[in-house]
Chains A and B, each alone.
Chain A
Amino acid sequence: MNIDRRKATLFGAAAAVRLLLFTGFPGLPDLLTARVEISTPVTSFKRLQEGLYLYNHNVSPYDGGVYHQAPLLLPLFALLPSSATYPAFTYLLYIIVDLLSANALMQIADSGEAGSSKLYTSPRKDKKWSSFAIAAAFLFNPFTIATCIGRPTSVFTTCAILHAISKAVAGNSFTSMFALSFAAYLSMYPILLFPPLALLCFDRKRPMKGQESVYNFVFGNAMAVAGSMYSLLHMSSLITGSWEFLLSTYGVQLLLPDLTPNVGLWWYFFIEMFDSFRNFFLGVFWIHLSSYVAGLTIRLRRQPLFVIVTLLGIFAIFKPYPSISDTSLFLAVLPLYRHVLPLMRYTFLASSTILYATLLGPAFYYLWIYAGSGNANFFYAITLVWSLGLSVLVADALFAVLRDEWEVERPEMKGKEIRQI
């Protein structure tokens, strides 16, 4: 079929580009792995190697204090031939994960959930990009490619989140919840996606005989998430032999002991913070990150998918160890809302700010770390700009969607200039 051939071509091209980069530039994977923009302490491929080495030598992988990732990744990578001798297998794994994510993204796009959900249909819903274009935008996004070449384990989280959404729009709530648990198991923060995802499942489930109330449904799904989380964690404790991994994985995300620079806002703040206020501000930052979930879910009850999109954008800015991998996920799902893009007001500002930060970030990092002619403020300033660009984009998309909803309420205002009061 035509669609299938196009899809195969797209995936083949995406895989070819990645393979070419992997094999044509043998130094590139290690170079990108060492970049702070791609590898954070909780996702770095280098640290994974360290944990893997310890694991293969029957030492607790968390003993060195270097490895902070989920235990189940270890048996997976232990099955593969060592990436030092046969890197091709690792490359293939990461390429496949990217293609799986793209596939899930195409399913989300094909469902049309973005344009018309159960409770709301946008008047602009016909103005959309094909799933092919959206997948292409994801697969050929330089951020995605760089992430794939840098091999952080966050790609697994990305894949799991996209699958959770695609299963949710397909109405398979339990599969979706399992995928969400897996994402949460790997990186913890995706658990915050549970409320909108459960509502999305509820909206998309196939109509059954008995009408189930939303509370019962959400409760059932919460049980499903708790059950699968528990079994994953229990498996981990069997693998590592103790529950100590909890402190080394989720404890690190919660308490931020590793202040390696990254594109986020936390590291610099907690370098500067007085020790006695450190715990308080850790609490504040986490509350800040999670406080959006309830408000957005209530306000955008009619479009739960967009809540997820917005939350992914917020996570990419405010989570403790963000990387461009989170940005690439946000930029992957944003094109689903192609129909509201014309309503956005600051697209030029946001995109140019992001481009500016993308180009200057590595340069400033170089000035600080290698050339020694700059200091930490250089890099921090550019991460502020980066976060500003992303927040403008998130807030603007939110505005556009709200305006889209509002125009349904008041059709006479369509296309007119408005002001917030």
Chain B
Amino acid sequence: MSAKTEASEALEAEGSIVEDTATAKNQEVPANAVNVAPKKKEPPPESPASIRLRQYVIASFWAIIILVGLPIWWRTTAIYRAKLPLDQMMDWADGRACRPVFPLRISIEADALQDHEAQHLLRTTQHALDDLNEFSAHHLRLQLSQPANASVETTGLSAGAGDEEVALTIRLLPGTTTQADLQAYSPILDIQYTPNQVPSSSSSASSLANYIANTLRGLFAEEQAMIAYLLSTSSAPPERSPKALSPDVAESLARWTTRSLKYSRTYHLTFSLFTPAATPSSWDIEAALEEYMKPLLASFSEISNFTIDTQVQLYATPGVSGNVLKKEDLSGFINAAEWPLSPSIGGAPTVNFILYVGDMEVEGGGKSWLIPQWGGVVIQSDISDLRPAMLIFSNQLMSLLGAPEAGSLPLRLMTLVRVRSAGLLLKASGTMGSLARLTLALPSISIPRSVAEGVYTTIEHLRKACDGLGGKEGLENARIAEEAAEKAFFEKSMVGQVYFPDEHKVAVYLPLLGPVGVPLVMGIVKEFKAWRKRRRESR
């Protein structure tokens, strides 16, 4: 930039006066002006034309700076801050905007009972349930299933809920003993009762009602704990979070959260066969997957999709040696350096399942283990029958996806939907809160329009998710909300100036604009002084 200063100095200075000093004393001082001689000689007065010329030159530079430079400075350095609905965002984060409630509809089929008996049984059971339940967000609601002859007035508790999903159907069957039997592949609970347990219409409690209530509570205890745990770890207001969970329950739930993968619409499953020698070089994985894995994956289809690939790796040595694996060895078993296990490429997270051919054994007798958020390992010496390995893999997959451990498959899946939606909802709300706090705390960061759009998308889908909590739509909306929230929060251009305090701007502006500015400012100051002097003299 040296040339700029030089050239403009040249312009302004040359434009003014070029003054002679060396010759002044010798020639122009008159001989009689002895006492004047030491005084500095003044340059001859400038012509008005040259003064005006200089003023024009200075004005032309300043005109460009003011008319073009300032608008450009204003336009290019203004920080764009899109308006965010901060109040709404904070409402979501604090749990004021949405009260996560999971109304579970449980339908009772009691064909063997009289209508009024059934009504009465339902009412007492509901009372018993309500007495047992201390966690309002997770609420079981009973209703009578509507046989063809049932009229609307029987459904006092379930009015308007006809199209809602029924989480569980209880079939009351008369029998000889009292026992509950959960069907494995459909959400039906068969309860047999002895005839004397049917409550009379006058009694306010009955053993059958209590039995049903306790059974239900047992069935949903794990889910309740999970949701309670999620709420307690979120920033929801304390009065809404349930009473503290017992330490061992909390511990197992913490393990559950560390174990399960982040929710995604699609997962990629990799089944790998590793063998330490040249054989076996093939396995009948296709048929095994078809038989044991596909049905499970199909039942997941409403929650997540799966893509699958398989591989065989010969001469694969594990990361640890020895025939008995100690617990601490397990983390090193996967030979990450040599085994070609791809990390998540593309959008979908990868779940790895490894079948290792060998006769090793984990200390204590196990032959398989699960690696949190990563996959599972099975050691098997004979791979002619893949059934045991596949069953273990299925179980591991369920755990990795975050399904509860107890219950029948349909119930576990439905629980998974509810727990996942709750988790996503809380996470997205928390992200909204963080974004709002960030916006308030750092007034100097820019907020691009895409962030504002992301926030509005998030809030819209959060609202939908909150309204449809518990169902598949709720899950989908929660997922969209969470994705949009993360994208808005991690917008790259937003954080660019976080570590750019105002003092640094001086360091950016000054080295370039300083040298350019000095001659410009000096020019105008000098010109102003000269103008004042001229005016004083002329007066």
On A, residues with C-beta under 8 Å from B are 274-277, 279-284, 287-288, 290-292, 294-296, 298-299, 314, 317-318, 387-388, 390-392, 394-395, 398-399, 402-403, 406, 409-410, 413, 416-421
Contacts and interface: CB of A to CB of B under 8 A. Distances in A.
Given A294-B63, A417-B22, A421-B43, A387 B508 contact: no
B512 interface: yes
B73 A288 contact: no
Contact of A284 (B19, B23, B69): B69
A290 B60 CA distance: 11
Nearest to A398: B10
Interface string B187-211: 0000000000000000000000000
A339 to B, nearest CB: 18
B495 to A, nearest CB: 11
Interface string B10-47: 11011111111111000000000000000000011001
A79 B512 CA distance: 47
Contacts of A413: 18, 20
B155 interface: no
26 contacts: A274-B508, A276-B496, A284-B72, A288-B4, A292-B7, A292-B8, A295-B11, A295-B57, A298-B57, A299-B53, A314-B7, A318-B4, A395-B6, A398-B14, A399-B14, A402-B15, A403-B14, A403-B18, A413-B20, A416-B20, A417-B20, A418-B19, A419-B20, A420-B13, A421-B17, A421-B43
Given A294-B63, A295-B60, 16 more contacts: A276-B446, A276-B500, A283-B73, A283-B76, A284-B512, A299-B11, A299-B53, A318-B3, A390-B3, A398-B10, A409-B47, A410-B44, A417-B22, A418-B18, A419-B21, A420-B17
B64 interface: yes
A387 B43 CA distance: 35
B13 A291 contact: no
Interface string B54-97: 00110011011100110011011100000000000000000000
Contacts of B44: 410
A215 to B, nearest CB: 15
B426 to A, nearest CB: 34
B112 interface: no
**Nearest 5 pairs of A and B residues by beta carbon:** A391-B3, A283-B72, A294-B60, A279-B76, A280-B76
A275 B68 CA distance: 21
Nearest to A402: B14
B14 A274 contact: no
Interface of B: 2-4, 6-8, 10-11, 13-23, 43-44, 47, 53, 56-57, 60-61, 63-65, 68-69, 72-73, 75-77, 446, 496-497, 500, 508, 512-513, 516
Nearest to B14: A402
Nearest to A285: B512
A283 to B, nearest CB: 4
Contacts of A281: 512
B58 to A, nearest CB: 8
Mostly, the B contact residues are helix
B3 A294 contact: no
B512 A416 contact: no
Contacts of B22: 416-417
A283 B61 CA distance: 15
A413 B497 CA distance: 58
Contacts of A390: 3
A6 to B, nearest CB: 37
Nearest to A405: B14
A149 B18 CA distance: 45
A295 B14 CA distance: 12
A399 B12 CA distance: 11
B491 to A, nearest CB: 14
Most buried by B among A276, A279, A399: A276
A407 to B, nearest CB: 9
Nearest to A265: B1
Contacts of B75: 279
A394 B9 CA distance: 13
B26 to A, nearest CB: 11
B76 to A, nearest CB: 4
Contacts of B14: 398-399, 402-403, 406, 420
Contacts of A403: 14, 18
Contacts of A314: 3, 7
Contacts of B497: 276
Nearest to B15: A299
Contacts of B73: 280, 283
B57 A317 contact: no
B78 to A, nearest CB: 10
Contacts of A280: 72-73, 76-77
A398 B7 contact: yes
B7 A395 contact: yes
A304 to B, nearest CB: 15
A394 B19 contact: no
Contacts of B53: 298-299
Contacts of B508: 274, 277
A290 B64 contact: yes
